[in-house]
Amino acid sequence: MTDDEIAEVLMRLARARGTGTFCPSEAARALSGDWRKLMPRVREVAAGLPLVATQKGQAVDPVAAKGPIRLGLAEGET
In terms of Cβ atoms closer than 10 Å to its own Cβ (0-12, 13-18, 19+), residue 68 is: exposed
3-state helix, strand, coil in the chain (%, to 5): 45, 15, 35
Is residue 46 within 8 A of residue 32, CB to CB? The reply is: no
Residue 39 lies in a domain: yes
Domain count, the chain: 1
Q: So what's the pLDDT on residue 78?
A: 66
Residue 48 pLDDT? 97
Domain, as residue range, for 12: 3-73
Residue 78, domain member (yes or no): no
pLDDT in tens, the chain (78 residues): 899 999 999 999 999 999 899 999 999 999 999 999 999 999 999 999 999 999 999 999 999 999 999 999 998 776
Question: Coil, helix or strand for 47?
Answer: helix
- How many Å apart are CA 30 and CA 7, to the nearest integer? 12
Predicted local distance difference test score (pLDDT) of residue 26: 97
